[in-house]
Amino acid sequence: MVEFFGDLIRSIEAIGKGPKLAGLGLDEIEQIREDQRVDSLPLYYEEFLRRMGRCAGQFLIGTDAFYPELMGIKSDARELLAESDASHLMAEDSIVFAMHQGYQVYWLESSRDDDPPVAMYQEGGAELRARWESFSVFLIDQSSRDLALTRGK
């Protein structure tokens, strides 16, 4: 896991100039866990928060995925899913880790796995819009997309 996050950080730094990466302390991570109403956070997500939970440079820019915007995000996601008759898509122990522009929501499908699958729902649909086999795969996919965009590919 240490090597994974080291590689991810190098990839994010290659995206370009922007704010420095900033992580969270244990108290802030605990606030997020309590706000999500789960017993524990998955190991990979907790490490993400520890290393870049406040800011990740240009990575996920424009997406509410960082503290303090994370606070209350699970309630917002449940409201979006309910309005679209799609509440059944997200389990109670899921962890909502991002919302993009209020119409896309991303969540970890379980709070019990170290590196759980990620689901994404987009407003207006009845099914998931995308799914990744793990949080680490999601992070790699997103950082690769961001890097390709900055390089004009």
Chain segment 58-70, per-residue pLDDT in tens: 899 889 999 999 9
Structure tokens belonging to residue 125: 């649909």
Could you read off the pLDDT of 6-29 as tens digits, one per residue? 999 988 888 776 778 999 999 999
What is the three-state SS of the chain?
CHHHHHHHHHHHHHHCCCCCCECCCHHHHHHHHHHHCCCCCCHHHHHHHHHHCCECCCCCCCEECCCCCCCCHHHHHHHHHHHCCCHHHCCCCCEEEEEECCCEEEEECCCCCCCCCEEEEECCCCCCCEEECCHHHHHHHHHHHHHHHHCCC
Q: Which residues partner with 130 through β-bridges?
A: 120
The confidence score (pLDDT) of residue 140 equals 94
102: left (phi over 0), alpha (psi -120 to 50) or beta: left
The confidence score (pLDDT) of residue 149 equals 63
CB 136 within 8 A of CB 115: yes
Alpha-carbon gap, residue 116 to 95, rounded angstroms: 10
Cis peptide before 116 (omega within 30 of 0): no
Low-confidence ranges of the chain (pLDDT < 70): 17, 146-153
